[in-house]
Amino acid sequence: MKIALCQVSVAPLRAQNADSSEMVSQILFGEFVEILEQKDKWWKVQVEFDGYQGWIDPKQVLEISEEIYQSLRNIVPSFVSDVVGLAIDHNQNPLMLSYGSVLPGFVEQTIDLGTQKINYQGSFTQIVRKEKSDLVEIAMNYINAPYLWGGKSVFGIDCSGFSQQVYKMAGYKLPRDAYQQAELGSPLGFVAEAMAGDLAFFENPQGKIIHVGIMLEDQKIIHAHGKVRVDPIDDTGIFNHELNRYTHKLRFVKSLID
């Protein structure tokens, strides 16, 4: 098994082995991937966290030995807890890390990648499983982050990347796409029954799940639509006051955490 980790702030994961190909997801700094295939100047990889597959530029990752991989996995991982954290790479150049990025081999402000060391100067946390109500505070770290198809960072994020990352920082693992997340949890009858931290799912005219957001108190929702924003929600869907219309049709709300 060949393993690499992301060594840039965020690396695009593409559907095909071309720069012009659709970005289907992203790999945050410090995340592990398994190298499945090499073709021309591209690597096909599988993200360790959620099993997502795609093509990456190998210049954006660092291939590591099995020995280094196992040693890094034996250290309890730390994560960036600043909205944007500052690191200094081995060439003394700044490296801006998104909230939720992994700090592998992190001891005494140093990220040890085996073949190189990086100094991290920001705040960090080790993930412990949190209460459902704690998801709101985590979600607000992404407020106003621009919408980006396939994005997972504060520099650009999509709806399911947003819910996945928020739940990750609370100690829960969700799959990458909204339709996959919609298969989890227990359905609720009405929006009024929802608690902060529950997930609301939305459908297109064909009945396909196309959007997800995180419920807040007082029948509001935080979701990525243009940017990460807060809007009112009822049993019809999400109402955008700026547009004076509903933008998303509600399919159901689900509780994933007891």
Q: Kindly report, residue by residue over 111-149, the tens digit of the pLDDT.
A: 988 788 999 999 999 988 899 989 999 999 999 999 999
**Is the pTM higher than 0.85?**
yes
CA separation for the pair 163, 215 (Å, rounded): 10
Cross-strand pairs, 45: 35, 54
Taking alpha carbons only, the member of 136, 79, 132 closest to residue 104 is 79
CATH 3.90.1720.10 intervals, the chain: 134-255
Residue 130 neighbours by CB distance under 10 Å: 17
Taking alpha carbons only, the member of 136, 139, 164 closest to residue 151 is 164
Q: Is 66 helix (H, G, I), strand (E, B) or coil?
A: helix
What pLDDT is recorded for position 100? 97
The tens-digit pLDDT sequence of the chain (258 residues) is: 999 999 999 999 999 999 999 999 999 999 999 999 999 899 999 999 999 999 999 999 999 999 999 999 888 889 999 999 999 998 999 999 999 999 999 988 999 887 889 999 999 999 888 999 899 999 999 999 999 999 999 999 999 999 999 999 999 999 999 999 999 999 999 999 999 999 999 999 999 999 999 999 999 999 999 999 999 999 999 999 999 999 999 999 999 998
What pLDDT is recorded for position 206? 97
What pLDDT is recorded for position 113? 83
CA separation for the pair 144, 232 (Å, rounded): 16
Residue 79 identity (one-letter amino acid): F
Q: What CATH superfamily is the domain 134-255?
A: endopeptidase domain like (from Nostoc punctiforme) (3.90.1720.10)
CA separation for the pair 8, 30 (Å, rounded): 8
Strands (E), 83-135: 84-88, 94-98, 102-103, 106-107, 110-112, 117-120, 124-125
| Strand (E) or helix (H) holding 159 | helix 159-169
Q: Is 176 helix (H, G, I), strand (E, B) or coil?
A: coil
- Contact call for residues 5 and 32 (beta carbons, < 8 A): yes
CA separation for the pair 82, 101 (Å, rounded): 10
CATH topology of domain 2-125: SH3 type barrels. (2.30.30)
Handedness of CA 52, 58, 62, 63 (dihedral sign): positive
What pLDDT is recorded for position 115? 81
What pLDDT is recorded for position 76? 86
What pLDDT is recorded for position 112? 86
Joined together, the tokens standing for residue 98 give 């998104």
CATH 2.30.30.40 intervals, the chain: 2-125
The pLDDT tens digits of the residues spanning 205-219 come to 999 999 999 999 999
Angle at 151 between CA 145 and CA 154, to 5 degrees: 30
What pLDDT is recorded for position 258? 83
| Strand (E) or helix (H) holding 70 | helix 66-73
What pLDDT is recorded for position 211? 99
